[in-house]
């Protein structure tokens, strides 16, 4: 049975000028995007903030992927900036249940992100509390990081255990691996450098989307 796979552009930058350019590009080919937020602590790099996004006035619907320690401290700013969903890392907090509750209290959807080394067993108590699970297929924090193919086995196992949970993958997706990724059981594929570091980002997005959907059919 074919699945309706979604491809979502992932916007990652520490430069407000580049942010504005990437958002304008995204607006030309999609109505939804993910903003990657980094604090220089949970991951080595830093990125733009909720205030930068709020200042754009974008028409895009969007979610925030928080690669930060203490994600609960960021929730109000991102709600005010217009986020529809917060995706936070299991590894970034000692109290993921509390973070989930706080995201809900802010009236937002919640996703749980999982680093490559984290076992499925670790997140089992949380799966029914979230709207989606996002599997990182790179070590997070950098555009263009190396894809870790073993994560696809983890996704396939998770899909068998939780057939109705939305599953996403983020990191290292390129034209030469997106078909294999699409066959693993994911619902959403987040793509960064393979879109925004191409001469024609819109064409790259459409080409990647077509390959993913053809492979999942």
Rounded average pLDDT over 100-124: 97
Rounded average pLDDT over 200-210: 98
List residues with catalytic annotation: 36, 170
From residue 75, alpha-carbon distances to 99, 106, 200 in Å are 9, 7, 34
Rounded average pLDDT over 106-115: 98
Beta strands in 12-118 (DSSP E): 32-38, 61-67, 85-89, 109-114
Q: Which CATH number fits domain 6-216: 3.20.20.70, 3.40.50.150, 3.90.1150.10, 3.40.50.720?
A: 3.20.20.70
- Whole-model pTM? 0.95
């Amino acid at each position: 049975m074919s699945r309706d796979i979604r491809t979502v552009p992932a916007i990652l930058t520490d430069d407000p000028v580049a942010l504005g350019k990437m958002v304008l590009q995204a607006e030309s080919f999609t109505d939804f995007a993910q903003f990657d937020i980094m604090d220089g602590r949970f991951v080595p790099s830093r990125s733009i903030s909720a205030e930068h996004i709020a200042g754009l006035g974008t028409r895009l619907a969007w979610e925030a992927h928080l690669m930060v320690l203490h994600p609960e401290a960021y929730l109000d700013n991102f709600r005010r900036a217009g986020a529809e969903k917060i995706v936070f890392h299991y590894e970034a907090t000692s109290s993921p249940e509390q973070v989930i509750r706080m995201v809900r209290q802010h009236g937002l959807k919640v996703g749980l992100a999982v680093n490559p080394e984290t076992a499925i067993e670790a997140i089992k108590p949380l799966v029914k509390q979230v709207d989606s699970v996002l599997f990182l297929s790179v070590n997070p924090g950098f555009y263009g990081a190396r894809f870790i193919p073993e994560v696809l086995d983890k996704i396939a196992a998770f899909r068998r255990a939780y057939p109705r949970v939305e599953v996403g993958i983020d990191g290292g997706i390129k034209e030469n691996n997106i078909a294999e990724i699409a066959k693993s059981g994911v619902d959403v594929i987040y793509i960064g450098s393979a879109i925004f570091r191409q001469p024609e980002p819109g064409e790259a997005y459409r080409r990647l989307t077509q390959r993913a959907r053809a492979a999942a059919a």
